[in-house]
Amino acid sequence: MSVDLHHHGDRDVAAGLVDLAVNVRLPAPPPWLADVVARSLADLGRYPDATAATEAVAARHGVPVEAVLPTAGGAEAFTLVARALDVRRPSVVHPQFTEPEAALRAAGHDVHRHVLDAADGFRLDPAAYRAGGRSRTGAGAADLVVVGNPTNPTGVLHPRADVLALRAPGRTLVVDEAFMDAVPGEAESVLGHGEDLDGVLVLRSLTKTWGLAGLRTGYVVGDPALVARLRAVQPPWSVSTPALAATVACTSDRASAEAEAAALAFRRDRAVLVAELDAAGFAVAGTPATPFVLVDTSPLGPASVREDLAARGFAVRRGETFPGLGPTWIRVAVRDVATSRAFVSALSELRSRRVA
Ligand SMILES: Cc1ncc(COP(=O)(O)O)c(C=O)c1O
């Protein structure tokens, strides 16, 4: 089935609705960070210099500067991966954020999809990717594997060991950790454990946690030889001076402490949302570890409930544009407890109407 890989949550929001569709934590960066960005404007007359940002990211993750490349968000990194590497059989673990596949396709690649099973909680079984395994053209033959951890939209956090078990000789493993800073302790990140990153590229985004989607900030950490290939195809000055200043600020100890506090708050608020959904008879996918949860609305029938929820004031992210999901799945952002309760009561109201 063909789906619109470029559909994103912002297109599911309309004026006047409570936005549970977009998964950016803040509507704007916190004041201390906005100040950093504002001060950097005095330097706009000069071309950007990524040295300080590269050093800051390297220090944050305990890697050499050669292992780091600041990018214009995670999105630019997907395009660099798709263009820079000599890849013949890329495979994407789905359901997941669709831009990696879209970037690979735009670069002319045929993309293999490895679709995880809802019935199994969207668990990743690395055995499916064993080299020479199940299929000579499918997962086992992949020379590039892209996996999200934790995964958008399923919310599933794969164990680090399972992610690293996807490595194989001659294969590049790309781990999209765009939401890892929203997981307490960044548990299960492949970074920060002194892991050898041979053949691995980890993508990070600074746009979600910091309300910087409009600035475009992120970075790649990984195998220096692969990072050098990405750097070679990155357009000059791709990351702007304000974005680089934000990168330095967002990788500081202060920022890490603030992100950790936010991750803990998300965990508390998510537990309430999941418990309320459960009490109302709606299951979520897996054991979510993200600032959003994927809700199974199939008890309400086979059609999407998005329009009905919009009529009750709530915008949610549709599931059907993610390979492996259908219209009965909706992605719901974790907001404050009062908002979550109001949302679940709106969803439950649909049940009484439809069943009646
Ligand atoms: C899982 C995931 N990875 C990466 C990105 C890209 O984020 P950005 O380009 O804003 O850093 C997104 C954005 O929605 C995402 O959901």
User: What pLDDT digit, counting tens, does each position of 30-82 carry?
Assistant: 999 999 999 999 999 999 999 999 999 999 999 999 999 999 999 999 999 99
Contacts of 308 (CB under 8 A, 6+ apart): 350
Given a cut of 60, is residue 167 above it in pLDDT?
yes
* pLDDT, position 24: 82
pLDDT band at 5 (very low <50, low <70, confident <90, very high): confident
CA distance 111 to 3: 14
Percent residues over pLDDT 70 in the chain: 96
Least confident among 139-143, 197-201, 267-271, 313-317: 139-143
CA distances from 131 to 111, 127, 134, 200, 276 (A): 17, 9, 9, 16, 43
Query: Which pLDDT does position 355 carry in this prediction?
Result: 54
CA of 76 to the centre of ligand 1 (A): 10
- Ligand 1 centroid from CA 12, angstroms: 16
pLDDT at 16: 85
Closest Cα to atom 3 of ligand 1: 178
- Domains of the chain are 9-23+255-355 (3.90.1150.10), 31-251 (3.40.640.10)
With 80 as the cut, is the pLDDT of residue 1 above it? no
Sign of torsion, CA 186 221 333 279? negative
The reply to whether ligand 1 has any atom less than 6 angstroms from the CB of 259 is no
C-alpha distances (whole Å) from 143 to each of 131, 137, 153, 171, 240 are 9, 11, 25, 4, 32
pTM above 0.75, yes or no: yes
Taking the centre of ligand 1 as the mean of its atom positions, its distance from the CA of residue 79, in whole angstroms, is 12
Question: Residue 32, Cβ neighbours under 10 Å: how many?
Answer: 11
Tens of pLDDT, residues 84-108: 999 999 999 999 999 999 999 999 9
Query: Ligand 1: does its nearest atom lie under 6 Å from the Cβ of 209?
Result: no
Pocket test residue of 23, 208, 217, 331 for ligand 1, highest count of atoms within 8 A of CB: 208
Please say if the pLDDT value at position 251 is more than 80.
yes
- Report d(CA 305, CA 298) in Å as an integer: 9
CB-based contacts of 269-275 (< 8 A; 24+ apart in sequence): 269/334, 269/335, 269/336, 269/337, 269/340, 270/334, 272/337, 272/340, 272/341, 273/332, 273/334, 273/337, 273/340, 273/343, 273/344
Ligand 1 touching residue 152 (CB < 6 A): yes
For residue 127, what pLDDT is reported? 93
Give the integer Cα–Cα distance in Å for 328 and 200.
35
Name the residue with the closest Cα to ligand 1, atom 5: 74
Residue 134: predicted pLDDT = 53
In the block, which residue shows the tokens 């404050």?
Answer: 336
User: Starting at the edge strand that comes first in sequence, how are the strands of the sheet with 172-176 ordered?
Assistant: 68-71, 218-222, 200-205, 172-176, 144-148, 90-94, 112-115
> What is the overall mean pLDDT for the chain?
93
Q: Give the confidence band of 216 by pLDDT, cuts at 50, 70, 90.
A: very high
Q: How many whole angstroms from 312 Cα to the centroid of ligand 1?
A: 28
Gap from CA of 10 to ligand 1 centroid (Å):
12
Say yes or no to pLDDT of 273 above 60. Answer: yes
Cα 278 to Cα 269: distance, rounded to the nearest angstrom:
14
| % of the chain residues with pLDDT over 90 | 87
Q: Is the CB of 291 under 6 A from ligand 1?
A: no
The contacts of residue 304 (CB under 8 Å, 6+ apart) are 297, 318, 319, 320, 327, 328, 330
Is the separation of the CB atoms in 109 and 90 below 8 Å?
yes
Instruction: Answer whether residue 281 shows pLDDT above 70.
Output: yes
Is residue 189 lining ligand 1, measured as CB closer than 6 Å?
no
Residue 225 pLDDT greater than 70, yes or no: yes
Contact between 72 and 238 under an 8 Å Cβ cutoff? The reply is: yes
| Residues whose CB falls within 8 Å of the CB of residue 53, separated by 6 or more in sequence, listed in order | 70, 219, 239, 244, 245, 247, 248, 251
Between the CA of 74 and the centroid of ligand 1 the distance, in Å, is: 5
DSSP labels, 123-157: ---GGGG-TT-S-SSSGGG-SEEEEESSPTTT---
User: What pLDDT does 3 receive?
Assistant: 76
Predicted local confidence at residue 174, as pLDDT: 98
Ligand 1 centroid–CA 272 distance in Å is 25
Q: For residue 178, how far is its CA from the centre of ligand 1 (angstroms)?
A: 6
pLDDT for res 13: 76
Best residue among 7, 11, 12, 97 to mutate for probing ligand 1, ranked by most atoms within 8 Å of CB: 97
Would you state the pLDDT for residue 77?
98
Ligand 1 contacts CB of residue 149 (under 6 A): no
